[in-house]
Amino acid sequence: MTRALVLIDLQNDFLPGGALAVPEGDQVIAVANQLQPHFQHLFVTQDWHPADHGSFAANHPGKRPGDRIDLGGVPQILWPVHCVQDSPGASLAADLQLPESVSIIRKGTDPTIDSYSGFFDNARRQATGLQALLQAAGIRSVYLLGLATDYCVQFTALDAVSLGFDTYLIEDGCRGVNAQPTDVADAITAMRSEGVIITHSSQITAAS
Ligand code: VGL
Ligand code: ZN
C-alpha cells in the first residue's frame, strides 16, 4: 500500500496574526513535522491567489468578508485579502520542515473562481495536477492534515475519496475557521459519512 502525506495550506496568512488567521493554526505545524519521517511521499498545497482574486471582499465594492456572492455561477463566501502570490502571507510556515525536493501544488490562481480543494477548483472545471502527481507515484492512500478543516481540508478530503483514494484525515493536525461554532464538527461528520477515515497522528507514529 503506497501512501502519501498531503499538507494543506500551512501558510502564514492562516496562522495567528495572519490575514485569515485560523484559531490555533500554528499548533498543527509540529504535527506535520513529526509525521514526515513516517511517509515516503509528501505533497504540499499552497493557496496562491492573484491580487484581483474574486474571493476577496476588497475586490467587490460594498462587500465585506463573510458576505456571500455568486462568482461566475458558483456560490462564494468573501474573504479578507489573503495568500496573494509571492507575498509573505502566502509563504509556507517558517517552522514547517520540508525536504529539498517537495512537490508543491498551487491552487486558487484563477481570479474568476476559488479553489478550496487541492484537486479541483470549486466548479471542478480545472484540475490542479495533484491527482496526476499522486497517480504517477502509485499512491493509493492519502493522509491529510492542515488548514482549514471546514474549507480546504474538507474539500480536499471529499475530492480524494471521490477520486478513489483511501483517504485519512489526521484530526489533530487540522484546525478550522468555525465561522459558525459547529462548522468543524459538521465538516468532520460530512467527511466521515463520505468514507474519510478520521485518525490521529499518534496512530501513525505508533504503527510505523
Ligand atoms: C482557505 C478560505 C479561503 C483554506 C483558503 O485554506 O481553508 N479558506 N482560502
Ligand atoms: Zn483562499
Q: Is residue 31 included in any domain, yes or no?
A: yes
Determine the angle formed by the axes of helices 183-193 and 154-162, rounding to 10 degrees: 10
Q: Is residue 160 included in any domain, yes or no?
A: yes
Residues in the 5 Å CB sphere of ion ligand 2: 47, 108
Are 87 and 146 spatial neighbours (Cβ–Cβ below 8 Å)? no
Residue 63 a catalytic site member: no
pLDDT of residue 28: 98
Would you give per-residue pLDDT tens digits along the chain (208 residues)? 799 999 999 999 999 999 999 999 999 999 999 999 999 999 999 999 999 999 999 999 999 999 999 999 999 999 999 999 999 999 999 999 999 889 999 999 999 999 999 999 999 999 999 999 999 999 999 999 999 999 999 999 999 999 999 999 999 999 999 999 999 999 999 999 999 999 999 999 998 6
* Number of domains, the chain: 1
Which residue owns the Cα nearest ligand 1 atom 4?
A: 152
Which residue owns the Cα nearest ligand 1 atom 1?
A: 152
Q: Is residue 64 included in any domain, yes or no?
A: no
- Residue 42 belongs to domain spanning: 3-47+87-207
Q: Is residue 143 included in any domain, yes or no?
A: yes
CATH code for position 13: 3.40.50.850
Are 5 and 151 spatial neighbours (Cβ–Cβ below 8 Å)? no
Q: Is residue 21 included in any domain, yes or no?
A: yes
